[in-house]
Structure 1
Amino acid sequence: LKFHKHETGRRNFALIQWSRARMRLNEVLRRVKVSSTLADESLQQAEAWKVEAEDRKVKAEKP
């Protein structure tokens, strides 16, 4: 496969652009993943606290 110098340059440019875009996308995805993991964790934490509070209330109400 023989490309003209110009062609090769254009192809390389496209490849570089693509890999940059992909890197940016991965970065964003990683951030989103992290924040959704954090959101999941805080939801679970909130659930745990709710259950704990309920437990305490029930125990307090029992004579």
Structure 2
Amino acid sequence: MAKNTGNGRRIGQVKDRYQLKNERTGFFDKYDGLGNFIASKSSPGPWKSVEKRNPKKPPRG
């Protein structure tokens, strides 16, 4: 499990989560290990310590 240090960074990786860039909004979306949507980032750039990989489910619509 990732631990926050209080210095703007984490030690370790967030497990069972991954992120993809949303082509419509330009921001990153976060998904759990099964491919279910968790959250969308409202500021530019990716999440810290969250893996970037290919989706497990096909895109919608």
TM-score by length of 2: 0.19
More strand by share: 2
TM-score by length of 1: 0.19
Q: Which has the higher contact order (CA 8 A, sep 6+)?
A: 2
Over alpha carbons, which structure has the higher Rg?
A: 1
